[in-house]
Amino acid sequence: MNLKAALLKENSKKQTLLIAASIATNPKLFEEAMQVFFANEYLLTQRCAAVINACFEKNPKLIEPYLLKLIENLSKKGLHDAVKRNTVRMLQFMDIPKNLQGLAFENCMKLLLSSDEAIAIRVFAMTVLFNICKVEPELKKEVIIAIEAHLPYASKGYLNRAGKLLSKLKKL
């Protein structure tokens, strides 16, 4: 499979799932997809982000060797929203190793606090932060303050996730 050609062929869920089905069982193709994902070629990276997420949904273990790089990648300037959104979407379903929690916390806090970020990115980051707080409860006050800072002008999606997580954070 020519991955780049397949990514450029069309931008549809059907195409995303077709590519993901091909690479999820082929470690060499998955590695190639991760190289495309990290290459920061705007259109290819955007489309590859959805493919990587679809692969993660089928087999979460595929991402583990790339976890540090995924978390580090979040701090890069100029990342496409699809890259940030799909990265934090995956992170919210993972047990982040203790040695990576600090970096994940820092990057997700920046995403949460930035009013320039899309709502989906911010609410997924909020969930990652909550998950880290379950392991490191001393961080919960910082997360609560960050979430509450945006409540007065938040969207319904943000308010919904914030309401659920704030009550859980306060119980930790």
pLDDT of 41-87, one tens digit each? 889 999 999 999 999 999 999 999 999 999 999 999 989 999 999 99
> If we measure between CA atoms, which residue out of 79, 66, 8 comes closest to residue 40?
79
pLDDT of 15 reads: 96
Enter the pTM of the model: 0.93
pLDDT at 109: 98
Q: Rounded to an integer, what distance in angstroms lies between the CA atom of residue 12 and that of residue 143?
A: 36
Q: Residue 128 in contact with residue 165, Cβ under 8 Å?
A: no
Nearest CA-CA partner of 168 in 144, 149, 139: 144
Q: What DSSP element (H or E) covers 166? A: helix 156-171
The token duo for 98 is 């203790």
